Structure 1
């Protein structure tokens, strides 16, 4: 059964292009090591009239937006193998958390077992 790492983060809207450069680089590395999918999605229609809208949930400032991302793997075991290789890859080791175009302390992430795959 497929396994998914999911991410939700807050990015200043004026830093989206910087974030895109980093995520394209990271996505290539994850895919090279075996991830089946790597998606990064920027919020552009977040004020929904029902539920708890992302801006309220994330306490977004007017100058920020949400980025919703996921990486798909064959299994949790394969995810662990891929991530171990990614973490050792020198192409990503030069990324300083202090110079990221978003606050890493506000990032949420987790691993998910696929419940429905239609």
Structure 2
């Protein structure tokens, strides 16, 4: 499969450890919404082996404190134009609007790192 034309949105999010359960609930629903609107893949990963000697640790890159877990996630699309179409549909979806109006969100959006990426190299067994 040629994935080199794909487009990826990436996220690095510090989430308070006591809010991981709520984050998982929201991420599961958000993933369903993104997939229903056309995303090709949706990943949410929680940090496990993050303190690697002589490298910038993910907790520092994420601005995470001792009370935070680090979430690394990404969504794959056909292209940047496809990403823009999917994200517009996702943001208009009432399920997302209700999540975004949460009185007690599981993380602070202002602490989230986000960006869109063109693929450079892809190796995939699929």
Q: TM-score interval w.r.t. the shorter chain?
A: over 0.9
Task: From 61, 64, 67, give the equivalent of 2:71.
Answer: 67
CA distance in 1, matches of 2:91, 2:52: 37
User: What is the distance in 2 between the residues matched to 1:98 and 1:6?
Assistant: 25
Runs of at least 4 residues off by over 3 Å? none
TM-score where L is the length of structure 2: 0.89
What TM-score, normalized by structure 1, do the two folds share? 0.94
User: Deviations for 1:45-94, whole angstroms, at most 9, x for unmatched residues?
Assistant: 11111211112333322111110010000111111111111010001111
SS of residue paired to 2:26 = helix
**Is 1:24 paired with 2:28?**
yes
Question: Residue 98 and residue 8 in structure 1: after superposition, are their counterparts in 2 closer, same or farther (change >3 A)?
Answer: farther
Structure 1 regions of 5+ residues with no counterpart?
A: none
Runs (5+) with no aligned partner, structure 2: none
